[in-house]
Amino acid sequence: MGLDTGGLAVIGTGVVGVVAATLVGYALRGRVVGGDSDPNGFHALRETVSGRECVALLLPDAPTVDSVAAAVGLGAVASHWGTATRVVALGDGPTEDIRAFCNLFDVTVAESPPAAVDGALVVGGAGPVPSPPGMAVIGAVRHRSAPHDGPLVVTGDDGATSTTVTRLLEAEDVVPDERTASALFFGVRAGTQEFRRVHGNDFDVASFLHNYADQGRLDALRAPGMGDETFDVLGTAIANRERRATFAVANAGTVPTVSALEDATDTLLRLDGVTSAATFGVHDEAVVVSCRSDDVRESASDLLRSAFSSGTIAGSADAASARVDLGLFSRVSEENSKTLDELVDASARKALFSAFDAS
């Protein structure tokens, strides 16, 4: 993890690392397929996907409910084009909120693509379009433009990828069924953080989807129960919070799940005057950081990349995560664990606040 034995100096450059818009607003970036005759990129996407038997809808590392919901919508569009789809996640296992979403909407997320898949479409995420080994990535759909290399990328100036996908449904004259509309509606709501971070057509799309959605399913997801472990993590994070300007940082200690860390970050964002927040903790022999931003000027993923250059960063401008393995220090004795915790706390806070000040 990049810590030296002389005192666990600086954890990386950060924990060293311890850690549409209307349809006209859509753009075809990367490989120019449609040219001026296809300003939205939809025709190019249809030509790329249709004609294939089965396409994997690939969720990025640290997937969000928005990306899973967008995959549901893309599945409906692909079916309209005569192509089957399978949702695949190659990163960490699903968080509690994603599991709840999948259970409610009967979404199966595979850990590897079936043999019949003859292409992959990345759904959501930020940064360069990933190219997992053994999979031919034919394109990506996301709500915000990002660096790319090669495949067709359709984006929109929207607050959620589910918004971008809904605009695609409308452009293709696909009327969503109740399940698809409900999933996309919740995806828009999650992606815009309960409509607090709205761009482009988010409100218009939500109004359109509401006409077809099942309110009962939405209510079931709106107020899920909270387990004792998550409640304890929230309490620890709130007690250990520190704020500078509009940025709040908290140490949640050892956490049972990454989703509990994400819940704590969302809670920090509710503090008056806070527009960006990060919560870190130790989980599965690594320092894990969850970052959220409601400020369009502040990118959560960029902030974490600046803070933890040696870590694994995933996510988007709105929500991102970092993971920095503890390595040998994960085996520290119980008597020295307090010292390690103190060093992790000091290094992570310094890295995060330094990155925020430099942004």
Written as six digits, the tokens of 52 are 């294939």
Provide CATH 3.10.310.30 ranges for the chain: 228-358
What pLDDT is attached to residue 336? 62
Which one is predicted more confidently, 11 or 355?
A: 355
Contact (Cβ atoms closer than 8 angstroms) between residue 60 and residue 187 = no
The predicted model gives 234-251 an average pLDDT of: 91
Mean pLDDT of the chain: 79
Written as six digits, the tokens of 279 are 């919560």
Which one is predicted more confidently, 150 or 305?
A: 305
pLDDT band (50, 70, 90) for residue 151? low
161/156 Cα distance (integer angstroms) = 8
Q: Which of 148-157, 271-280, 289-298 has the highest mean pLDDT?
A: 271-280
What pLDDT is attached to residue 165? 93
The predicted model gives 85-98 an average pLDDT of: 78
Ranking 51-60, 102-111, 135-144, 235-244 by mean pLDDT, the lowest is 135-144
Q: Which of 140-144, 179-183, 251-255, 296-300 has the highest mean pLDDT?
A: 179-183
Q: Which of 88-92, 149-153, 265-269 has the highest mean pLDDT?
A: 265-269
The predicted model gives 195-218 an average pLDDT of: 84
Q: pLDDT tens across 106-149, in order?
A: 999 988 777 778 888 989 876 667 777 777 888 888 877 655 55
Helix (H) or strand (E) holding 84: strand 84-89
What pLDDT is attached to residue 27? 33
330/337 Cα distance (integer angstroms) = 9
CATH tag, 228-358: 3.10.310.30
Among candidate residues 267, 229, 218, the one with its CA nearest the CA of residue 96: 229
pLDDT band (50, 70, 90) for residue 325? confident
Q: Is 337's pLDDT higher than 70?
A: no
Contact (Cβ atoms closer than 8 angstroms) between residue 122 and residue 141 = yes
Q: pLDDT tens across 68-81, in order?
A: 999 999 999 999 99
Strands ordered across the beta sheet of 247-254: 241-244, 247-254, 276-282, 286-293, 319-325, 312-315
What pLDDT is attached to residue 303? 93
Contact (Cβ atoms closer than 8 angstroms) between residue 73 and residue 180 = yes
The predicted model gives 231-241 an average pLDDT of: 86
Provide CATH 3.90.1640.10 ranges for the chain: 25-222
Classify domain 25-222 at the CATH superfamily level: inorganic pyrophosphatase (n-terminal core) (3.90.1640.10)
Q: Is 98's pLDDT higher than 90?
A: no
